[in-house]
Amino acid sequence: LEARLAQPDVALEPFVQRWQGWLNTQRGVRPSTSAKYLSQVRRLVPAGQVFNRSAFTRRCISDFLTTLGEQITATNRYRAALSSFASFLVEREILRHNPVREVSGRKENAPRASHLSRADAQRLLSCIVNPEARALHALMCGSGVEISAALSLKHGEINRESGEFRARGTKTVSRDRTAVVIDRFCWS
């Protein structure tokens, strides 16, 4: 408390733009992710308004996420953005520790997945005229990979004999996996 009283309170709002500039230079951070993170942090730290370091507490963040949880379900994404901003402030010795890590979050529901039956998949593929689009949907129907992994795939990366291919992770390398086209009708 004495250390805090000895230091003047710092306004955090000017650091938000610096943080986004820093975020844009980080490897693996897409511009769309950076823009989303900025909008999420701006809900707590609005542009042009005073928001001091003393207000950026565990209680403030918890209350913010609780209130937000009444409006949306994806509060963990907001927590990630706020934690990134807090880590940036810790590195610059504006904060002593990351208060976002002290806030427990609620478990989010798993995303809903829908699966096509074999007959529905065949019916869908027969309706697609464009050969590239038909091949893309056949790959997804036959293997279950998501569209981002299917779009990043190169033709030569599919082993036709084993039916296997490497599905690249879109967010991290650790999400790479081997996928198998299990339904032979998709090959045609």
* Full DSSP string of 10-35: -BSHHHHHHHHHHHHHSTT--HHHHH
The structure tokens listed for 94 are: 């504006």
**CA-to-CA distance for 107 and 102, rounded, in angstroms?**
16
Query: Is the overall model pTM greater than 0.75, yes or no?
Result: no
The whole-number pLDDT of residue 112 equals 63
Per-residue pLDDT of the chain (188 residues; tens, 9 = 90+): 676 566 678 888 889 999 988 988 887 788 888 889 999 999 999 888 888 888 888 899 988 888 887 777 777 888 888 999 999 999 988 888 899 888 876 655 555 666 778 888 888 899 999 988 988 888 888 888 888 888 888 877 888 788 888 887 766 656 678 888 877 778 77
Sign of CA dihedral 149, 151, 156, 160: positive
Q: Residue for token digits 């699966």?
A: 115
Residues 6+ apart with CB under 8 A from 82: 40, 41, 44, 61, 100
Answer for the pair 95, 89: CB distance below 8 angstroms, yes or no. Answer: yes
Res 160: pLDDT: 79
DSSP state of 57: S
The two three-digit tokens of residue 68, written as one number: 């937000």
